[in-house]
Structure 1
Amino acid sequence: MKAGSRFLNAVSAVALSAGIVASGAGAITFVSATAAEAAVIQRIDVRGASRVGAEAVRSNLTIAPGRNFSNTDIDDSVKQLYGTGYFSDVKISVSGSTLVVTVEEAQLVNQVVFNGNRKVKDDKLASVVQTRASGPYNDALIQADIAAIKEAYAATGRSEVQVTTQVVPLGEGRVNLAFVIDEGDRTKIAAINFVGNNAYSTGRLAAVISTKRSNFLSFLTRKDVYSEDRLHADEEALRQFYFNRGYADFKIISSDATFDEATNKYTLTFNIEEGPRYDFGPVTVQSTVEGVTGEQLQGLVVTREGEVYSAKDVQRSMEAISDQVASAGYPFARVTPRGNRDLGNNTIGVEYLVDQGERAYIERIEIRGNSRTRDYVIRREFDMSEGDAFNQQMITKAKRRLEALGFFSSVNISTAPGSSPDRVVVIVDVQDQSTGSFGIGAGYAAGGDGLILEASIEEKNFLGRGQYIRVSAGGGVEGSQSYGLSFTEPYFLGYRLATGFDLNHSETSSNDNYDYTEDSAVLRATAPITEDLATTFRYNFKRMNYDADGSDLSDLSTPYQDLVNDGPWIRSSISNTLTYNTLDDMTLPREGIYATLTQEIAGLGGDSQFYKIYGKARYYHLLADDADIIGSVAAGAGHVVGLGKDLNIFDQFTLGNNDIRGFENKGIGPRVGGGPDDPLGGTTYFTVSAEATFPMPGFPRDFGLRGAVFADAGTLFGNDVDVSSPEFVRGDSAALRASVGVGLVWQSPFGALRVDYAIPVVKEDYDQTQYFKFGINNQF
């Protein structure tokens, strides 16, 4: 366009009349440059805009009646009209005092369809293309749509997909557009190789990266899909793995993906250089911020001299120092770690330098790549907004929070210069991933319902709003039923306050004498105290009904006869739970602590009046890094006392086969005779457990099959239930029970499947045992 304009302007001096013409190719003619500079039109005449309308054309012009216009205005007007996509040709000329704009309208798309697609559904493809029904037919846009469709298929492992188009004219400038797709075969990962690794085996490193070798279940996991983005994410995962284990000089020399057309498979090769392993040397804090000394900040440092060097601990120290200094009134303070290597001793001394930093403000937070998750769901994870002081440590913290949501396969936060030297643009690039899961739970109750199954569907990012919803239903072969609905809003009224409810209904047959029905409702609110500590308040309502259905109750003990005859029963209570969580991974934790402590008071109406306190803590530690042997120890305890009245049977604690494996649910603790001994529960319990898990020999690490050995012990004792014949109560003492066993855990594409076999080694004669225990938690 501009080349044509320059040529025509060069000959304009010899032209005989004044006029302006813009051809469909965009070339603009000024017959007289002087006249053009002084040209003023009184009206604009639009021709050919039968569908779009003359006003729509005029609104896209930079020329207006009564105002001078020039070469640039003509250029801009033509570009703007073409940019709408609604015109295939544009011509502009001047006739006297009238600007004549002649357009030829592009064809309109009547319908967009997809043919040949089986692996990627229509709604998914419709979300990635930009051509829309009732929109213009535009060749450039369609080529971009073809590229987007190929990218969507590449994400499923079908990088050889072919996409063509078919156009069916309908008359009157309208067409149907079909994207014809030849999906081709799915590419796979034949092998993943590591070169230069000495400290860690190939199997251990393969477990670190997200890309996995193809196997018979890869069509479900999609973890054998090659992409450059995933390869870069794997590189970063390897860096963090080594940096957090003392290898501060770790480098990735190269990462290559070789494609074999004959087999349609990729081979990935990571060429790495581990370098030496370092421990922390002397750790100090120096501050130039007025009123804040290094000695005051030293206690915030989590890096300790003599410990293995960890980049994660350095980052945590920087964040703690930055938060403290900012809260002291210095929002621009900058924390810079300076490492001092001692190659002779293989140590890195760290000096944290705290200074005022440059004054910079956030001009805007720009979010890209979120096709499903709403912008505000991402923005609320930042402790800053537009106009606030820029703080790099807060950016890092926001990135960690976004990754912890589980909504995104990748999160990257970068910065760009703003409109002035003291303005910064924060750019957040994310990629949405599937957040739905389907679960199946299974169990076996020896004396009651037999085999029990439960299915559930949950969504952690409901409608892209970050909300959690779960629906479940289950049943047993003996007629038991259960239904549940849970919902959580993680940011109530814009505050970091997670509120929600849980509704449940269950029907079961405890034995041949009566049926049991339970309805419960829980309202809850959770607020963070620190990054690792949170508190949850609940209101709990439960309605229980024991129905004899005309059965003979003579075999039941007196307390159980009272349950049946005097129901239904109501329990109304409030509770508070403190949760401490430092786990490095909620799916397969290797390091960290998960602990809860709950207090509950019942008596807000209903039939129960008590105070309960109970809790449990489990500590994970990696016993052998390269062998990936994970050890854990756990302890739990609880106590309940009545408030002004005796406890009901359902108020006391019972222990299940998750607490002490090898025993049935309610299989230990005080029991009362009357036929078969009926469990009373107990007022006090203690449990301890130790376990080690390890990759199963003979299976690839990335298959996710692990073995387990464990030992459980505990006791349940005490009784505050009114029984007419105390002499028939057994198990009221604090006798210890213990079991040992082995397990098999599979991190399958459906979730974590576990089978345990436990043998009680310490038990009472009247205890009820259960050797096998299994369960499934399925995800997709």
Structure 2
Amino acid sequence: MMFDLLFRKTLHITAPALLVGILLLPGLSQAQFLSSPSGSSNTIGEIRVEGAKWINKNTVLHSLELEVGDRFSTSKQQKSLKALYKTGFFKDVQLDRQGDVLVVRVLENPLVNEIRFSGNDAMEDDELKQLIKQKKREPYNKARTEADLAVMRQAYRIKGLFLANIELEVEELSQNRVRLTYEIEEGEKSRVQEVRFIGNKLVDDGTLLKKLVIQPTGWLSWLKEDDTYDREKLMFDQQQLRNVYQDQGYARIQVNSSIAELTPDKKAFIVTHSVTEGDRYKFGKLTIQGDFDELPESDLYAQLQMEEGEWFNVTAVRDTREKLTDLIGDFGYAFLDINPKTVYDDEAKTVSLDFQVKKGRRVYLDRIDVVGNNRTRDEVIRREVLLGEGDRFAASKVRKTKNRLRRLDYFEEVEVTTPKTMDPDMVRLKVKVQEKPTGSFTIGAGFSSTDKIISSASVTQRNFLGRGQKLSFSTALSATRTEFEVSFTEPYFLHKPISAGFDLYNRKTDDDDNSSYKKSSYGLGLRLGAALSDHLYNSVSYHIRHVELYDIDSGASSVIQAEYANSPYLQSMVSNTLSWRDMNRSKDGKSVVKGRSHSLTTDFSGLGGDVRFVRLVQDNHFYHPLMKKDKLTGHLRLKGGMIETWDGSVPIYERFNLGGPRTVRGFRSSGIGARSTTDGDSMGGNYFGQVNMELIFPVLGLEDKGVKGMTFIDAGLLNNFDSLGAGIDESDNPRVAAGVGVHWDSPFGPLQFSLGFPLVKEEWDETRTFDFSVGTSL
């Protein structure tokens, strides 16, 4: 009892003191850091780093809030600790004071010695390595690897592998090193089983579906990979739905929701889009207002891509804005703002537009910056820029510059911006590119009714040494020909926009169906070419080659026998081609819908050698849309040529031939014209003319697959200026054929076939109703 009373009194006296001591413990440690030992200053005289092996000591010092000459500070100590931990380099950090010396003791995170991936089939190791931030020979950073795991999982979701499971195994090695192994269980792809639409009464499912990125699984999905679900794709499809409706006049369309739900077995998605269509609207009043007065109003209104009373079309609104931007921006207005103010009249069902123009300040180009090109030389990019430093800004030239850089096909992305400078009258042109591989190895395979089975292979570098040059090695083999070729092209010869190059080739032809001989040729070609205007191009070339006819059939005609007697030939020829082209392609870029092209080629053979002739060939194409939205296109081709010699006769291999899918369908290749009565050899002709008329239309239900149908009428004339003599059937009558055909830009390559029926022919002509070809590069 007395002991209990004594304990309570002692506790009552000592408890407050004990509590104060506990509360003051942190202060004691801080005071220890701040207190100045006997004989030492409170100023940091030295900072010593201990324990750093992989990490440079300067990296540690730069992360500190304290430096030599500073007073010891507890707050800066805490900030320094946080900064050092934040680097991710260290497992443990301690700051200690020894007199006027600040000692920084670090325990480093282990160094990553190796990174492995296990179980990955859908993505290559190199693809995964580009995704992760944790790199080999860098300190292991757990936070970074956690972020890397999230990025990898998202990459697998984009590929439709939503069931993919990725775990990281960290294996400790000697000398404070680790090996990272990403264990991947990919699982089955979560494909889109079905795409549904709710609320669409005026636009059918098929019209909506073909414009979407996410498609239901089909027989070509394994190749196109368009049946995988991704959230970003789903959001993009929402905008696509709005565009489809607004291009047909449904200006008030609402996409209420887009939902992707997993099937019960979690192996597929069902995507459902819900829409409220609303009423159909027409364009109302169209006006252009603003502070730009440097052109007549009529020039501005000429840029309108719509008319009052037409059905509303959002694409026409965008195109109008782009054309106005180019027109006005070419006067130096880089910060031009064109805002199409929209007014809906729900009673009249019209949409009025007022394009409000604020031109901003006229500016000039300060300088051109090029970034992102690690391999491609600056000059290759700069020569595509249509503006020079000091030039007045021109919006159309900026857009064309971007298009020119894209057409080079050297870059994954091209971004052209005009950031402001300190001078309000100047802007900078910044060209930012992301490079992509430009080398390729391709293997081709195909079949045609003319060449039978065709195989090809090529190795090409389109940006050789980063200079924009093209170097290729190619070979092609078929039942009738064998080709080997080496080609080199410099697009800016002598730093001028002049294309120069050479070709080395070796070719053999064995066409038993049309000739009783074989032909071998090898040679060298040199070429120069330059654009004379936006549409006009001229090229000059020189060829020297050795040509030999061999394996002549014993029953060959006297003409072939005479040709064989003069073989081999040494041919030296200069050629010039002048071409003019102005074509508008469809929105998908797969076909020409409007425009024309013309070319004139002149060959002069006889600068040395023993083959002498002059040859002229003229080729013309005309395309014209016969219905809106590229539904029906007319195509007319007119082609003709003549060849004449002043010394003997033109070699048979240089004469013109007609017949086949590229000239007059319904006839075999070289099936039209003079023919030997003894061996059936085609003799060719000294002059020819051909007319091809086509009506091109989309095949119902297959428009989005790139399938085009056509009806055609072909006509051709082929003959010689002088009779070839006895034993030769010849006529100067034209031949005519008509038929139908289909062209498909398939995933396997272009596929085309035609059914041609001769309407006018000679009895010795060789006909063929069906022609077919398909090819691809693997």
Shorter-chain TM-score bucket reads 0.7 to 0.9
- Bigger CA drift: 635-644 or 686-695? 635-644
The aligned amino acid for 1:442 is F
Q: Does residue 189 of structure 2 align to residue 191 of structure 1?
A: no
CA offset digits 1:595-624 (Å, max 9, x no partner): 432222333846465463533435375859
2:475 to 470, 473, 476: 473
**Equivalences for residues 286-685 of structure 1 within 5 A:** 286=289, 288-304=291-307, 309-339=312-342, 348=351, 350-357=353-360, 439-445=444-450, 451-456=452-457, 472-477=474-479, 480-484=481-485, 505-511=506-512, 513-519=516-522, 521=525, 523=527, 533=535, 535=537, 537=539, 539=541, 541=543, 543=545, 545-549=547-551, 552=554, 554-557=556-559, 561=563, 565=567, 567-585=569-587, 588-589=590-591, 592-593=593-594, 595-603=596-604, 605=607, 607=611, 610=614, 612-617=616-621, 619=623, 621=625, 631-640=633-642, 649=652, 651-655=654-658, 656-669=660-673, 675-685=679-689
Distance 1:681 1:169 in 2: 81
Counterpart-to-counterpart distance in 1, 2:250 and 2:291: 31
Contact 1:484 1:505 in 2 (8 A): yes
2:145 is matched with 142
Which position in structure 2 is the counterpart of 1:690? Answer: 694
Contact 2:486 2:503 (8 Å CA) reproduced: yes
CA contact (8 A) 1:86 1:136 kept: yes
Amino acid in structure 2 at the alignment position of 1:207? K
**Paired amino acid for 1:771:** T
Task: Work out the CA distance in 1 between the residues paired with 2:394 and 2:72.
Answer: 47
In 1, the alpha carbon distance for the partners of 2:755 and 2:419 equals 57
Which residue matches 1:774? Answer: 772
Does the CA contact (< 8 Å) of 1:662 and 1:771 recur in 2?
A: yes
> 1:104: Cα distance to partner?
0.7
Q: Which moved more, 1:66-75 or 1:663-672?
A: 66-75
CA RMSD of aligned residues (A): 5.0
Work out whether residues 337 and 357 of structure 2, in 8 Å CA contact, stay in contact via their aligned partners in 1: yes
Structure 2 partner of 1:107: 110
After TM superposition, the structure 1 stretch with the greater mean CA deviation from structure 2, 342-351 or 284-293, is: 342-351
The corresponding residue for 1:6 is none
Kindly indicate whether residue 158 of structure 2 is the aligned counterpart of residue 155 of structure 1. yes
- Does the aligned pair in 1 maintain the 2:563–2:651 contact within 8 Å? no
How far apart are the structure 2 equivalents of 1:746 and 1:278? 36
Q: Deviations over 1:740-768 (max 9, x none)?
A: 1344x555432333333322233232322
Which residue of structure 1 lines up, in the alignment, with residue 18 of structure 2?
Answer: none
Q: Does structure 2 conserve the Cα–Cα contact (< 8 Å) formed by 1:360 and 1:424?
A: no
Aligned to 1:715: 716
Q: 1:16 to 1:587 in 2, by over 3 A?
A: closer
Distance 1:19 1:440 in 2: 81
Partner residue in 1 for 2:11: none
Counterparts in 2 of 1:346 and 1:549: CA distance versus 1, 3 Å? same
Whole-angstrom distance in 2 between the partners of 1:88 and 1:385: 54
- Alignment TM-score, normalising by the size of structure 2: 0.78
8 Å CA contact 1:666, 1:681 repeated in 2: no
Distance 1:73 1:456, change over 3 A: farther
Distance in 2, matches of 1:234 and 1:432, equals 27
- Measured in 1, the distance between the counterparts of 2:375 and 2:233 equals 20
Do 2:30 and 2:74's aligned partners in 1 also have CA atoms closer than 8 Å? no
Unaligned 5+ runs, structure 2: 1-22
SS at 2:557's partner residue?
A: coil
Is the 2:96–2:103 Cα contact (8 Å) retained in structure 1?
yes
Supply the AA of the counterpart residue of 1:776: V
Which of 218, 232, 236 in structure 2 is aligned with 1:233?
236
- Aligned equivalents of 1:296 and 1:228: distance in 2? 44
Q: CA deviation at 1:524?
A: 6.0
CA–CA distance in 1 between the matches of 2:117 and 2:201? 50
The unaligned stretches of length 5 or more in structure 1 are: 1-9, 21-29, 33-37
Following the alignment from structure 1 to structure 2, what is the Cα–Cα distance between the partners of residues 358 and 224? 48
Q: What do the CA deviations read for 1:671-717 (whole angstroms, capped 9, x no partner)?
A: 576742423245342322324444467xx877x38473422312233
**Residue 678 of structure 1: SS of its match in structure 2?**
coil
Report what 2:101 is aligned to: 98
C-alpha contact 2:617 2:641 (8 A) present in aligned 1: yes
Shift of 1:661: 2.1
Q: 1:275-300 CA distances to partner (integer Å, 9 max, x unpaired)?
A: 45555556555453343332344444
Task: Measure the CA separation in 1 of the matches of 2:443 and 2:248.
Answer: 35
Q: CA deviation at 1:103?
A: 0.9
Contact 1:279 1:306 in 2 (8 A): yes
What is the CA distance between 1:441 and its match in structure 2?
A: 2.7
Deviation (angstroms), 1:393: 7.6
Taking a change above 3 Å as real, the CA distance of residues 695 and 740 of structure 1, as seen in their structure-2 partners, is closer
Q: Cα 1:232–1:765, aligned 2, differ >3 Å: closer, same or farther?
A: farther
CA distance in 1, matches of 2:470, 2:181: 37
Asked if structure 1 preserves the Cα contact closer than 8 Å seen for 2:109 and 2:139, the reply is: yes
Change (3 A) 1:156 1:110: same
Q: For residues 463-497 of structure 1, what are the alpha-carbon distances to aligned partners after superposition, in whole Å with 9 as ceiling and x for unaligned?
A: 9979877765332346x312456677888899988
Give the number of the structure whose alpha-carbon radius of gyration is greater. 2
CA deviations on 1:542-589 (whole Å, 9 max, x unpaired) are: 636132246548525269716952514343323233332311246643
Which residue is equivalent to 2:759?
Answer: 761
User: Offset at 1:136?
Assistant: 1.3
How far has the Cα of 1:182 moved from its partner? 0.6
Deviates most, 421-430 or 261-270: 421-430
Structure 2: how far apart are the matches of 1:16 and 1:117? 52
Matches of 1:582 and 1:132, distance apart in 2: 48
**Matches of 1:569 and 1:681, distance apart in 2:** 20
1:255 aligns with 2:263: no
C-alpha separation between the residues in 2 aligned to 1:463 and 1:235? 42
Equivalent residue number for residue 19 of structure 2: none
Contact preservation (8 Å) 1:286, 1:294: no
What amino acid is the match of 2:666?
Answer: G
Partner Cα distance (2:392, 2:492) in 1: 23
Aligned residue in 2 for 1:730: 730
User: 1:173 Cα shift?
Assistant: 0.3
Distance 1:315-1:609 versus aligned 2 partners, 3 A rule: farther
CA distance in 1, matches of 2:394, 2:52: 53
Q: Relative to 1, partners in 2 of residues 1:756 and 1:540: Cα closer, same or farther, differing over 3 Å?
A: farther
Residue 171 (1) aligns with residue 169 (2): no
Q: Distance in 1 between matches of 2:368 and 2:249?
A: 34
For 1:346 and 1:593, locate their aligned partners in 2 and report how far apart those are by CA, in whole Å. 33
Q: CA deviation at 1:31?
A: 7.3
Aligned partners of 1:653 and 1:685 also within 8 Å: no
Q: Match of 1:455, as an amino acid? A: S
Q: Tell me how far apart the structure 2 counterparts of residues 407 and 622 of structure 1 sit (CA, whole Å).
A: 37
Q: 1:739–1:762: 8 Å Cα contact kept in structure 2?
A: no
| Aligned match of 1:117 | 120
Deviates more, 1:320-329 or 1:410-419: 410-419
SS in 2 for 1:177: strand
SS at match of 1:141: helix
2:16 paired residue number:
none
In the aligned structure 2, how far is the partner of 1:593 from the partner of 1:196? 37
CA distance in 2, matches of 1:513, 1:583: 43
Stretch of structure 1 that moved more, 307-316 or 186-195: 307-316
